[in-house]
Structure 1
Amino acid sequence: MSAIQLSSPIVSTEWLAENIHHPDLVVLDASWFLPNTPRYAVQEWKEKRIPNAQYFDFDKKIADPESELPHMLPSEALFSQSVEELGISASSVVIVYDSQGIFSAPRVWWMFRAMGHQQVAVLDGGLPAWEAKGYELQSGEPAPIDKGTFSATLLPEWVIDADTLNSKLEAPQTQVFDARPAARFYGTQPEPRQGVRSGHMPGAKSLPFGQLLEDGHFLPVEQLTQRFDALSDVDEQHIFSCGSGVTACILALAAEMAGRKKLTVYDGSWTEWGSKLKYPVV
């Protein structure tokens, strides 16, 4: 069987259906729900998933266990060990989806890119689109899988910490984008987490993630390009933030589709920035 190569950071349900039995392909369910949402992603994965999909838990398992912040990027060693247990090797083509269409899957796409793995893409439309096309679904306990061989190498340009970001707020050729709803960006709606200030970073631009989606799919590339062209130059460094580092990755993925090359996610996002008084808030 010939090798498969990804030509885009997203794939269609038709592409996945054609390639789902390829030995190099690994499918991951990255579903995650906001705190206080009465849904349980692991249970839903066991009840209904794309065939042979493994569950990728970036919230509890594949996250920095030492951080007080939610689902922070883990060490290279923890990431490598975790994805090996999911059957992923350096040669694997990884396709990530979630059960809301496009919500949490881009977070896992970004994690793999930050850890040096290029062959990763998100299923456009996610599980709802797969199910709507009538493709096969699987349920019950997953079958055992062979362990992979993976060695992560963190690419520092993909991630930024709060202190470094604070030093770059007025830097030329740098633009911060905030994926939260506009009301939270402008401080007219309180933050859902206790002790977190309202508002936004000086110089940041509001780009709510929902403006890049329609019916659980990304907008066409031409429209995504128009959205970013209206807010930034293509050669600028694009830094993405949100509430806790999940929907910022939707912006990062859309920006790559729109031809942007310098993409960075602020992992701590507003949960960190808004709770620490040393960082400026507008």
Structure 2
Amino acid sequence: MNFNKNSRSALINPIQMAQLIKNESVQVLFTHVAFPVSYVSKLDKPAFIPDSLFFDFDNVFVDKNSGLPHTLPTPEKFAAEMSKLGISNEATLIIYDDQGSFSAPRVWWMLTIMGHKNVYVLDGGIQAWIDAGFAVETELKKDVTNTHYQCRFNPNLQVTKEDIKRTLFNHERVVVDARSTARFNGIEPEPRPGVRSGHIPNSLNLHYAKLLEDGKFVDKTKIKTLFAPALQHQNKPLSFTCGSGVTACILALAAHEIGVDNWAVYDGSWSEWGADTDYPIE
């Protein structure tokens, strides 16, 4: 399948990615987060797409003063780190990870909210690239030239706990939780100490794993079916939450793929809400 840049899809396959790399100014970003996920990697040693840069949202692209695991940094901090990584505002960016399509959607959201144009996720990650027969390297690219990256922050793609609490009982927004059903229902304890079990009142549950199959996003028809309970509330904005803001972005990317634009990510997610006893739970 040839790549169509006029398509609104942010997901690309390896052949389309290779085509982009050949014909455009592309920078490739590898990301990883140390979460236990159901995806089982077939890799027995590190493997990266040639010239990949490491986008580290665990330790670098994060607000370390927030007290939360993966809080989005300020645009100023984000721009400074992008500049040090050698990223150009004009480049087409392609993100992939080594856990299928698990953490790359988080980076897609971060780049999108910071105003970068032409951002894509390699569906299926490094394994899809290898399965398509393309070459890999054993190390990431480290020799970079600093740039002067600039952000154009879009606040509409993010909600705070105050935003959600303010509309909690008037049903102005639909909150969709990407955690497992057991965690959502408070049956399974939270992995982080000091965080209560349960969920935000009146929220819906859509486990992110239902949107992925063998590390790739399911087809759009299935995505629409899975989103049907949330989309029956016509014209109401969707707010995506999870444990710490990572898998909520899988829901955000899936929504984007089926043409839903009225959404935002609750970055603090349950790590923040569940730890604050002033905020109600079910």
Within 5 Å, give how 1:170-181 maps onto structure 2. Answer: 170-181=169-180
Aligned partners of 1:97, 1:169: CA distance in 2, in Å?
A: 35
Deviations 1:164-193 (A, max 9, x none): 211122344410000000000001111111
Count of equivalent residues = 271
Q: Given the alignment of the two structures, is residue 137 of structure 1 paired with residue 141 of structure 2, yes or no?
A: no
Structure 1 unaligned blocks of 5 or more: 36-43
Deviations 1:99-151 (A, max 9, x none): 01111110000001111113111110001111112211012362522333321
- Aligned equivalent of 2:81: 82
Aligned partners of 2:87, 2:249: CA distance in 1, in Å?
A: 21
Deviation, 1:17, is 1.6
Aligned partners of 1:231, 1:77: CA distance in 2, in Å?
A: 34
- Aligned equivalent of 2:258: 258
Structure 2 unaligned blocks of 5 or more: 37-42
Q: Given the alignment of the two structures, is residue 162 of structure 1 paired with residue 127 of structure 2, yes or no?
A: no
Comparing 218-227 with 99-108, which one deviates more in the overlay? 218-227
Comparing 63-72 with 51-60, which one deviates more in the overlay? 63-72
Segments of 4+ in structure 1 off by > 6 A? none
Aligned partners of 1:134, 1:86: CA distance in 2, in Å?
A: 28
Query: What percentage of residue pairs aligned between the two structures are identical?
Result: 40
Change (3 A) 1:150 1:5: farther
Comparing 250-259 with 141-150, which one deviates more in the overlay? 141-150
Is the 1:228–1:258 contact (alpha carbons within 8 Å) kept by the matching residues of 2? no
Within 5 Å, give how 1:166-245 maps onto structure 2. Answer: 166-233=165-232, 235-245=235-245
Aligned partners of 1:113, 1:232: CA distance in 2, in Å?
A: 23
Change (3 A) 1:144 1:232: same
Name the SS for the 1:108 alignment partner: helix
Aligned partners of 1:225, 1:242: CA distance in 2, in Å?
A: 20
Name the SS for the 1:149 alignment partner: coil
- Aligned equivalent of 1:65: 64
Aligned partners of 1:140, 1:185: CA distance in 2, in Å?
A: 38
Q: Given the alignment of the two structures, is residue 29 of structure 1 paired with residue 30 of structure 2, yes or no?
A: yes
Name the SS for the 2:179 alignment partner: coil
Aligned partners of 1:157, 1:137: CA distance in 2, in Å?
A: 37
The normalised TM-score by structure 1 is: 0.90
